[in-house]
Structure 1
Amino acid sequence: MVYSLIQPDDIWILWAFLAGWAGISIYLEQKYDWASKVSGAIIALVGAMLLANFNVIPTDSPVYDTVWSYVVPLAIPLLLFQSNILKIWNESGRLLIMFLFSAIGTVVGAIVGFFFLKDLIPGLDKITAMMTGSYIGGSVNLAALSARFETPSEMISSAVVADNLMMALYFLVLMVIPTLTFFRRKFKTPHVEEVEKNNNDGNENLAASYWKGKEISLQDIGLAVGTAFALVAVSFTLAEFFANLIPTGENIFFNILHGILGDNYLMLTTITLLAVTIFSSYFEKINGAQEIGTYLIYIFFVVIGVPASLPIILQNAPLLLVLVFIMVVINMVVSFVLGKLFKFNLEEVILASNANIGGPTTAAAMAISQGWSKLVAPILIVGTLGYIIGNYIGAALGYWFGTF
């Protein structure tokens, strides 16, 4: 256990840091032009990463688990209140194809990384399988595949730390890309241009313009938060019911059905989108849901930066950092090359790659932080499907690698 100034069980101090730093990041983003260009999400993430690496805050705590378990699920429905499923279907179709192209990049990266490092890292077949599932789906796949292949616990923890550091660094790169002239010349950027076009006041930065104050009442807050809690409760209860009801094993059909109906986030997204489409007049009258949901996502960004502890990686398994670096870089190269070849927008390429490496929640968070509001619901839907295919692709590669 690495010593830190603030201990893992200093619950209120850590919550004060998470909530406070998220608020400061938003303030800086809307107050200063440099911070607006960097984005509050990067400020939130980098600040937490620096404090964790200088041992001011712990890299692991029950507080962080609470954010994953409660804050993120509540943020998702709040951010979907204005999303009518009939309007987003076309965008979801394009993003699904781009997501699958990006998944090809993950597979190629896994194969290259395995054959490059297989003589240097014991049990690399299991670790690469685990990381393949994670870099197509998310942490759910990582946990499932590590259990399937019985990966040693010390290797799992080291791989997770290396993954968190690489993921945090990659998100920084993805957030900077839309600001670079090279990429703006090579790709269409309709969503970036829309955000810039809506910035009519030359004295106001993009973030401040996008998040201008709106009329909001106590009733709005009550209905927004109360409805979000109800949607999460219904969705997670249904997902748990189906997960217990549908058997898993050799039958591929049941495995797929279990993956679809038994996944919390896929069920939450589905139930929320159905509710918003059927009861659109109710949801359209609620103000402030996007603001509350976005603040919760900023807390999530702070937590993403926390576990990226460089000393732990260098001490335990530096070669695992090389593995995830190879996988992420090849995913990026394949995503951008195929995205350019098949004429996808820059925003679609960035979010598809993000959804592979980080999962649907990080991709949605990036879309929100950049102001690409029309892509939030589609990337959540598409990214969540990665949870299903990630296990199968990771398992297939794991069995193949095991023959060497």
Structure 2
Amino acid sequence: MTGSLISADNSFGLVAAFLCAAAFGVWSEGTRLGKVLSGVILTIGAGALLSNLRILPFASTFHDLVWSYAVPLAIPLLLFKADLRRIIPETGRLLFAFALASVGTIAGAIAGFHLIDLGADGPKIAGTIGASWIGGSVNFAAVSQMLELKDGAVLGAMAASDNVGGTLFLTLLVLLPGSALIRRLFPSRVIDEAPVEDDAIEAQERNHFHIADLATALALSALCCFVGYVVAGLAGIPQFGVLFVTIAALALANFFPRRMHRLNGDFDLGMYFMYIFFAVVGAGADVLLMVQTALPIFAFTGVMAAVHLAFVLGGAKLFRIDLAEALIASNACALGPATAAAQAASQRWRTLVTPAVMFGVLGYAIANFIGVALAQFLG
């Protein structure tokens, strides 16, 4: 069966399904299973289950709308209380961790290329997926075009492997901080301090919740998106619109800190948008297509991801980088600003949300050059 129970053009069916998946993820945070696996993982799993059981399609206009609108709107909501006086001192370590993650991706792509037979297009495949794991899907499309990868079957297999591999990798990054062994090996001040601080903030927000705050926060978020994408378009770099959205949100947060701190519920609303995003991420993982057509490429992606993570964790241990910072740098590099910001927010590492976006965008900026150079080196 190639179709899905809820078709790609059934807008309200898709809205209902994804909002239910997001609501399930939020609800699951209070359950025993949710506390062990996290609501994020359960939301991704719910989306993947629904699509692979052919209840939901793997792609639709609604999927694109979530990427195009829900994620940009969520980012300012997550940043309206971002205090740069606390964030800037952290960026030096995160920059170093991001550099380690990028080098790890390059080393992993080289290792995967030599270990896995990718056929005649091997160098192009390695360069394209390597670029995607330093930037994102924008770089995947750009580098594949620059390298003249035109075989639809190969591109489909690459996209399937990249999507499924990215979903599994995100799951691993979210689960790692909950491992007792990992926590013993990699101490983390950010993880230790975040729950106490955020529980107090959340309790205060629940006690002073007003619909006017949500209306104001959402309006300001939309204004940030409007300004950000207009500026990016005028600058001739529309693909970096999220960077200017981030700058607009940070300007509000730091020029009007008292007024922004009086808003309540903005962070929670941003997280709700991110849960919808996680459901869409899960729903895009076509496991059967990957198994049928893309096993060698998936194996290559697995090797690359393993080497990448080894560099990140090894560097964190050697250079005493905070575990939370290392994982967010890894996420920003391998998966992009949206997932990195979402992980930082969902795991209550609020001071890392802004750097997650910034370094994710940095990955967009450098990945095309690295991907083409990698393909030429391997060719």
Once the two structures are TM-superposed, the CA of residue 139 in structure 1 deviates from its matched residue by 1.2
Question: Tell me, which stretches of 5 or more residues in structure 1 are unaligned?
Answer: 202-207, 244-257
Cross-structure match for 1:280: 257
Shift of residue 55, structure 1, vs aligned partner: 1.4
Q: How does 1:347-366 map to 2 (within 5 A)?
A: 347-366=324-343
What displacement does 1:9 show? 1.1
Per-residue deviation, 1:166: 1.1
Q: For residues 200 and 87 of structure 1, do their structure 2 counterparts lie closer, same or farther at Cα, with a shift above 3 Å needed?
A: closer
Task: Report how far residue 337 of structure 1 moved.
Answer: 0.6
Kindly indicate whether residue 206 of structure 2 is the aligned counterpart of residue 213 of structure 1: yes
Alpha-carbon offset, residue 280 of structure 1: 2.1
Equivalent in the alignment of 1:226: 219
Would the aligned equivalents of 2:195 and 2:348 in 1 still touch at CA under 8 Å?
A: no
What is the root-mean-square deviation of aligned Cα atoms in Å?
A: 2.0
TM-score by length of 1: 0.89
Residue 299 to residue 263, structure 1, CA distance change in 2 (3 Å): same
**Equivalent residue number for residue 2 of structure 1:** 2
- What amino acid maps onto 2:58 in structure 1? T
Aligned residues: 378
2:29 is paired with a residue of what secondary structure? helix
Distance 1:289 1:112, change over 3 A: same
Which of 114, 117, 120 aligns to 1:122? It is 120
List aligned pairs for 1:223-302, cutoff 5 A: 223-243=216-236, 263-302=240-279
> Does the aligned pair in 2 maintain the 1:86–1:277 contact within 8 Å?
no
Q: Tell me the residue number matched to 1:178.
A: 177
Which whole-Å CA distance do the structure 2 matches of 1:199 and 1:278 have between them?
23
1:395, distance to aligned residue in structure 2 (A): 1.4
> Which one of the candidate residues 313, 317, 328 is aligned to 2:294?
317
Confirm whether residue 379 of structure 1 aligns to residue 356 of structure 2. Answer: yes
Q: Please tell me whether residue 51 in structure 1 is matched to residue 50 in structure 2.
A: yes
Residue 60 of structure 1: SS of its match in structure 2? coil
Cα distance in 1, alignment partners of residues 89 and 303 from structure 2: 33
Deviations 1:302-327 (A, max 9, x none): 11111211111122222111111111
Counterpart in 1 of 2:190? 191
Q: Is the 8 A contact 1:210 1:371 kept in 2?
A: no
Amino acid at match of 2:310: V
Q: Helix, strand or coil: the match of 2:206?
A: coil
- Greater shift in the superposed pair: 340-349 or 375-384: 375-384
Quote the residue 2:35 is aligned against.
36
TM-score (normalised: structure 2): 0.94
Aligned-partner residue type, residue 87 of structure 2 = I
SS at match of 2:187: coil
Q: Does the C-alpha gap of structure 1 residues 239 and 354 become closer, same or farther in structure 2, counting only changes over 3 Å?
A: same
Asked if the contact 1:367–1:375 (Cα under 8 Å) also holds between the matched residues in 2, the reply is yes
Unaligned stretches of 5+ in structure 2? none
Aligned mates of 1:369, 1:185 — CA distance in 2: 22
- Cα drift, residue 146 of structure 1: 1.4
CA distance in 2, matches of 1:279, 1:212: 19
Match of 1:69 in 2: 68
1:252 aligned residue: none
Matches within 5 A, 1:94-133: 94-118=93-117, 120-133=118-131
Q: After superposition, what is the alpha-carbon deviation per residue over 1:3-25, rounded to whole angstroms, capped at 9, x for unaligned?
A: 22221111111111111110121
Q: 1:374 to 1:122 in 2, by over 3 A?
A: same
CA distance in 2, matches of 1:281, 1:200: 21
Q: How many Å apart are 1:164 and its aligned residue?
A: 1.2
Percent identity, please.
33
User: What is the alpha-carbon distance in structure 1 between the residues aligned to residue 264 and residue 196 of structure 2?
Assistant: 23
